[in-house]
Amino acid sequence: MTTVNVQDAKTRLSELLRRVETGEEIVIARAGTPIARITAASPPRRRLDSPLLPEIPPIGAEHLLDDMSSAELAEWEDGHSEDPLSEHDR
């Protein structure tokens, strides 16, 4: 949380609003006493260029629409031995 004085907030309002859009909270103070808090009206949007889960590497967009090989397609349609919903074990 960042604290700025009233005059600084007036001078840098556009910059402070950009920071609030990314999820930062800004406190405005007069003579060192907090008088207002600026927060985002809605939660910040998730960036699509960073992984949702850090342990899973992102997939490049150039590969998302690639055709599947016949083997990949067969595995997708038929399941595999570790697939809990597969009918291989039934």
**Residue 48 pLDDT exceeds 90:** no
Cα gap 65→90, rounded to integer Å: 33
Mean pLDDT score, 4-19: 95
Query: Is 29 within a domain?
Result: yes
Query: Is 32 within a domain?
Result: yes
CA distances from 42 to 24, 39, 49, 61, 68 (A): 12, 9, 20, 27, 39
The model's confidence at residue 14, banded by pLDDT at 50, 70 and 90, is very high
Query: Is 89 within a domain?
Result: no
Which range of residues forms the domain containing residue 18?
2-38
- Give the domain CATH number at 26: 3.40.1620.10
Confidence at residue 80, expressed as pLDDT on a 0 to 100 scale = 66
**Residue 33 pLDDT exceeds 90:** yes
To the question of pTM greater than 0.75 for the whole model, the response is no
Average pLDDT, the chain: 83
